[in-house]
Every structure is written in structure tokens, then in C-alpha cells.
Structure 1
């Protein structure tokens, strides 16, 4: 079984973040794979903090690599940090915000090919 949690744009403080990490570390994850998707700001902070095998999973990536792409995260950067997976395709981008050019089906397919 796989258990994943997308924290979206939460939590709002470092102490709450530490509390979430402690709660997850207290869980027995021996019978499932656990993926934790913190906000982009918290990815580096969370990396290496889980002691029970939970994997830090960024919430998104670009498909152009490193460069002048403000606010984006490149797969190459993730790999350098030891990240081996990423979450792509977000319904709220289509529902709440409308379809952004960077969140349409064609772009998601391009991201998937780039990631793999």
C-alpha cells in the first residue's frame, strides 16, 4: 500500500512543521510506502528528517531544467538533494485557478517524460 500526504501550502509555522514530522516519525510505516509532499519552501527542511522511511516528495517540477525560471524547481536540483519522486498534476490548478498553461494535459505529459 501507498500512503501520501500533500501538505499543499501548510503548515504556517516551523513549530507546526516539526510537530507533523514528529507525528509521522511515530507511525509504523513497515507495511506501506509513505510519501510526504511539503510546500516548496519546506522541502529542503524536511529532507532527512523522517526516521521511518517516509519519503519527501516535492509538489511540482518544471520540465526545462535549471535556468532563469523564477519560482520553479528543477528535477536536477531534486536529484542532487536525494529526492527520487515528485508529485505532478494538481486539480486545484484547474478548478480554483483555471487551467494554467503550465498545468494542462500536454504540459503534464511533457513533465512526465522529462521526469522519467
Structure 2
């Protein structure tokens, strides 16, 4: 069985104080319950080291929200993979729709980042998802195929263990609108089928595919309980312990039965 994974994407939120407090709250919960799920938090870059310290020896992983593909050098403002690993990061989110939309990241650039991170053994949470216009035009699968083909270009099967996919329909991110269970399962099944054709069925079966897009305590169990959904990439609800911890608990309960 694929191990469920819950990751919190804090985006451009929190202060140093609130980031440390939130990280400590998540760490206490995971230490206390020892759930059979993987949990990660991805704070803004200035707070990575402080959050790592707040997580202590808990089993909560640290993730970054972006990285550059080049080795350390003259790239003002960028974050080298080696730097992220140096402060304790085990994951990095790549391909998020907000990076694509607001910062012009292309499939080619995202691919370079994925290859660089995975080959250097930094775990990748690779985001894909369609816009509302694409969904209404019945282009969901076409968009997903384009993003998947771009992101996995040059990625051999040996690197797949370093990558988790997050399906995040753009129309559901931060809108309060969540994909229906049928919509989520259909997209996840398509992604898994694409992986089976691109690589092989066993590799596709092992790949974890998360759902992201207005995940909340009241819908987390239903979404993560779907056959091809292996956890959640949580945005707004990951910014408050009273909202994020129930999602982790829902995953822990499912892990006992799924």
C-alpha cells in the first residue's frame, strides 16, 4: 500500500514567531500520535532554519517552496538545492500553478528543477493541474498530459522514488471550491495511467499522487480515501493548527484501513 502523505504549503504567509509556533504544534501532534503517514511543512524560505529547529526530532519533514536547478553561483535571489539540503529540507514544491501564473515558469524550467532536485536526492512535490477554462473546455486530460510530459522529460525510472505528484486543479486553489470525489479520482487515475504508459505499471502503482485544492478537515477523509489519492497538499488550512491537525488525523485514520 502507498503510504499517505500530508504536506502543508504555507506560501507567502506567517511571521518568524507564528511559523515556529505552528511548526511546534504540528511536531507535538505527530510525536504524540505517531501516525502511519508522512507529514511535511513547507514554510517561506527565510523561516526554514527556524522551523527546522522547532520541528526538533519529530518525524515531520521540512520542505521548501522553490529551488533553482543550477549549482551555487551567480544567481541573485535564487535558492540552490544544496542550500536547502544544508538547512534540513527533504522536499521542495515545484511546478505550482502560482509559480507558473505569477512568475512565468514554463514546463521546460520546471523540468530542469525536477531533474536537478531528484538527481541530488531532494524529494520533489511536482504540481500539475488545469484552469477553470480548461476544465470547462474538457481539456483537463490534455493539460495534464502536457504538464506531465514536460515535467518528466529526461526523468528515468530510477528517479521516480524521489518524486510525488500533486494534482491541484487551479480553479480549486484558495477558492473554497473543491473538486468532487469523482473529478479528483478521475484526474488521479488519468495521471497514474499516464505514468504506466510512460514508464511501467508497477512504477505507476508505487507513485504517490496527492490532491490539493481547498482541502479542509470536513472533506479530507473523503478525498484521501479515494483509490488513487495518496494524501494532500494543503494550502490555507495548513496555516492554523486547528485546521491542519484534523487533516493529519484523518490521514492517520485512513492509514489503518486503506
Q: Residue 49 of structure 2: which of 37, 44, 49 is its match? A: 44
**Corresponding position of 2:5:** 2
Decide which structure has greater helix share.
2
2:37 corresponds to 1:35 = no
What CA distance in whole angstroms lies between the structure 1 residues aligned with 2:99 and 2:60? 26
Q: CA 1:17–1:61 in structure 2 vs 1: closer, same or farther (change >3 Å)?
A: same
Larger Rg computed on CA atoms: 2
What CA distance in whole angstroms lies between the structure 2 residues aligned with 1:29 and 1:69? 40
**Corresponding position of 2:16:** 14
Q: Deviations over 1:40-59 (max 9, x none)?
A: 11112112321421111011
Please report the TM-score for the alignment, with normalisation by the length of structure 2. Answer: 0.40
User: Does the CA contact (< 8 Å) of 1:29 and 1:54 recur in 2?
Assistant: no
Shift of 1:22: 2.4
Q: Gapped runs of 5+ residues in structure 1? A: none
RMSD over aligned CA atoms reads: 1.7
What CA distance in whole angstroms lies between the structure 1 residues aligned with 2:54 and 2:109? 32
Q: Gapped runs of 5+ residues in structure 2? A: 119-258
Q: How many residues align?
A: 111
What CA distance in whole angstroms lies between the structure 2 residues aligned with 1:65 and 1:58? 17
**Corresponding position of 1:112:** 114
SS in 1 for 2:7: strand
What CA distance in whole angstroms lies between the structure 2 residues aligned with 1:2 and 1:69? 32
What CA distance in whole angstroms lies between the structure 2 residues aligned with 1:79 and 1:10? 22
User: Does the CA contact (< 8 Å) of 1:3 and 1:35 recur in 2?
Assistant: yes
Decide which structure has greater strand share.
2
